[in-house]
Amino acid sequence: MDRRGRILAVFFIMGLGFALVVLRLVYLQVFEQSRLAARAERQQEQVVTLEPKRGTIYDRRGRELAVSLDVDSVYGIPSKIDDPGELAQRLSRILREDPRRIERKLAGDKHFVWLSRKVDPAKAAKVKELDSEDIRLRSETRRFYPKKALAGPVIGFTGMDNQGLEGIERVYDKMLRGVNGWVLAEKDARGRMVFPGGPGFQFKLPKQGNDIILTIDEVVQHIAEKELDAALASSRAKGGVCIVMNPRTGEVLALSVRTNGHGRQAFNPNEPQFYKPAEWRNRAVTDAFEPGSIFKPFLAAAALEERVVHPLERFDCSAGKIQVADRVIKDAHENGVLTFSDVIAQSSNVGTIKVALRLGKDRFYKYITAFGFGRKTGVDLPGEISGLLRDSRMWSGVSIGSVAIGQEVGVTPMQMAAAYCALANGGTLMRPYMVSEIVDHGGETGRKFGPQPVGRVVSEETSAQVNRMLQRVVELGTGQQAKPAGYSAAGKTGTAQKIDQRTGGYSKNDYVSSFVGFTPASSPKL
């Protein structure tokens, strides 16, 4: 090809290239215009989430137990920072955090990184004093518990993004959290968010979370915790539970849990990071234990309801032991001839088992389940278990005697409290509950919760008979230290041996000690 031909070939190829470019531009601007415009708009826009204010948790008299307050969070703009190392050192002294971690966050070309979320006001003020365009503050809400450790395992706590993680905060998270809002922002050439004004401004305001009113009474809760702490200190126990309920309604007025032993600070939901999960777990519903003698009144109620025994019937307990199948069960203290009322008052294993053998395992099992054992109570707390109760068809020959005195059965403290409420209120099992009302802030009608009967367990006559027997426990029997000044009371003591993990048998040194009762005895309120 001569020179002229080569020049023409070059011009032809160049012209063809320009033609293709023109055709592509025409295609993009005519046929793809709508799609590309929308894509460009999306690249320039960003939806910013507006966090709602979490609802407040109150006690039954309107006292605040959990509130949300506006605090500052610290963020940085790494793309604008020239010396992240030097800035990280300054920030670490203010935030009291690892400077290497801060430096890693500030290095790079991102337009936004969180440095420290929901900091104390004093730290936020010092960050402001830096007067840096690259380190800024953004307002967020933070959960505070003004009563500190009061009812900590009951109320629970929230995570950094205000989601409920434990306790009431977790069970009612959806209602407390509210609904997120949003605002449509634009990005400038440097990637910074700009909020345009005018009629085209698009947004949706967040909906505040609902408030919750508990059945808990702050004063009763404080007394329960104070008394439980005193009991732990005097007995040097590893932990304990104290529950106060209204027997006629099932309202939980106080629920105190100590799972960290004598001398350890009670769980404070303001600082959950300083505690182990075992220390915030609500063992009133998550843990089962063998109840021991506090289980005997349910045998008494069943036997009286079935009319297989009379309260004044006499039993010879002088031997202090009884053979049940291949096992010999003894009394803690030798007793002579006792009425059935005194069998309960003196907590005689022998007398209790004699009545249980007369009642029979199938009828006894029917009443145990009717009192709510072996299934969840339905209380509005997370992690509740059913306890341990084998079907009577699986009982061994000794089981009738063991179960009658509170062995071979695992109960939760909440199950036990609810069952005693049935003994106290005339024979009706009530579902325990923690929340009395949900208050809506969006104009909708809130919800109120009231007593929920589960079913009648025994007659009012039987309930009254057991009541009188349990009064004798407090007046003349093993529970005399539980008698309150100025009031009548009824109740039952229990001392159950714990299982020795090494031998698999009952320990001779480790016990679960319990008392369950109600007052005033004639018309129980607690």
The strand ranges marked E within 371-505 are: 428-430, 435-439, 447-448, 453-456, 490-499
Q: Please identify which of the residues 68, 256, 293, 348 carries the catalytic annotation.
A: 293
3-state secondary structure 8-25: HHHHHHHHHHHHHHHHHH
- Residue 340's identity, in one-letter code, is F
Rounded to an integer, what distance in angstroms lies between the CA atom of residue 490 and that of residue 486? 14
DSSP string, 364-385: HHHHHHHTTTTS----SSTT--
The secondary element (H helix, E strand) that includes residue 339 is: strand 337-339
Pairing of strands 45-50, 490-499: unpaired
The secondary element (H helix, E strand) that includes residue 65 is: strand 64-76
- Token representation of residue 235: 């007995």
**In sequence order, which residues have a C-beta less than 8 Å from that of residue 247 and are 6 or more positions away?**
420, 421, 422, 424, 425, 430, 518, 524, 525, 526
Question: Exposed/middle/buried for 198, CB within 10 Å: 0-12, 13-18, 19+?
Answer: exposed
Phi, psi torsion values for 426, nearest 5 degrees: 110, 5
The secondary element (H helix, E strand) that includes residue 420 is: helix 413-424
Q: CA angle 53-54-55, nearest 5°?
A: 115
To the query of whether residue 116 is one of the catalytic residues in this protein, the response is no
**In sequence order, which residues have a C-beta less than 8 Å from that of residue 54 and are 6 or more positions away?**
68, 141, 143, 158, 162, 176, 177, 178, 209
- Token representation of residue 239: 């932990």
Task: Report in angstroms the alpha-carbon separations of 516 from 14, 292, 323, 471, 513.
Answer: 98, 12, 29, 12, 10
- Token representation of residue 97: 């955090």
Helix residue spans in 27-143 (DSSP H): 33-44, 84-95, 99-106, 121-129
The strand ranges marked E within 121-169 are: 135-144
Rounded to an integer, what distance in angstroms lies between the CA atom of residue 98 and that of residue 102? 7
The strand ranges marked E within 221-325 are: 240-245, 252-258, 314-316, 321-324
Rounded to an integer, what distance in angstroms lies between the CA atom of residue 55 and that of residue 440? 9
Active-site annotation, residues: 293
